[in-house]
Amino acid sequence: MSGDKDGVRAGETIRFALKQVLDFALPPRCAGCGTIVADLHSFCPECRTRVEFLGESGCSTCGIPLEATDADTCGFCIAKPPRIGRTRAALAYDELSRSIALRLKHGRKVALARTMARYMAPLVRSDGEPLLVPVPLHRSCLWSRGINQSALVARELAKMTGPRTDPCLLKRVKRTPALKGMSPRQRRKLVAGAFKMKPEADLQGRTIVLVDDVLTTGSTANACARALEQAGAGRVELVSWARVIKPMQLS
């Protein structure tokens, strides 16, 4: 027994020594500007002042920022409750949050998935055994890009928060052009019927948390939610890295 304990202590000593060497050779760097920082997957003080953290603030349902009011739910959600029961984003969409998302999506900087997940993790509720489901890509896009950034983030979130993830539960069966520059109505029309569940899916009463990188008008997320509800999901939520607050950012 003592030999086993000695072996464990020796292994911990080796891992600590290796970490020290790696931290010296490859010190943690700011996810925004690359400046050396104290912790992995974090921002330097200057970049932290540049980003707008959203978290749990805003409308209790859709998460949109509420100003000059004591209400916890926005008028739109009161008048017409949305299909997605709870929407949250870690950051407001700006040049910095956009650049991180693009470096993961097109630059294949896969370590950024963990950076994004670190700030999204506090927004994932683990009660009720939710299932994390990344917004899927069409197979042609996945082949050309090589990765699904939302699936990578969902995997990291599962490690941090506990709920499991199923990257194959939801499929994108309809290829759509890039939605940038389109109106919300055009977006809704294009993504209608674009998502299907895998045939054996059984979601009766389950809470599903959609995971996405950037939330714009919500058209894609709503199309996903519709497919999930048709498969029996009891509740659909959404957690994203960044969300567009100002409509002009869509163009």
Span 145-163, pLDDT tens digits: 889 999 999 999 999 999 9
Identify the pLDDT of residue 250. Answer: 47
Q: What's the pTM value of the predicted model, to 2 decimals?
A: 0.84
Bigger pLDDT: 11 vs 87: 87
Q: Hey, which residues does 91 pair with through a beta bridge?
A: 53, 242
Domains and CATH numbers, the chain: 52-250 (3.40.50)
Q: What is the mean pLDDT of residues 77-101?
A: 96
- Going by the DSSP 8-state scheme, the letter that residue 198 receives in this structure is -
Q: What is the mean pLDDT of residues 69-83?
A: 90
Is 19 a residue whose pLDDT tops 70?
Answer: no
Give dist(CA 109, CA 97) in Å, integer.
14
Span 5-15, pLDDT tens digits: 555 566 666 66
The answer to whether the CB of 171 falls within 8 A of the CB of 138 is: no
Q: What is the residue-averaged pLDDT of the chain?
A: 87
Span 153-202, pLDDT tens digits: 999 999 999 999 999 999 999 888 777 777 778 888 888 889 999 887 78
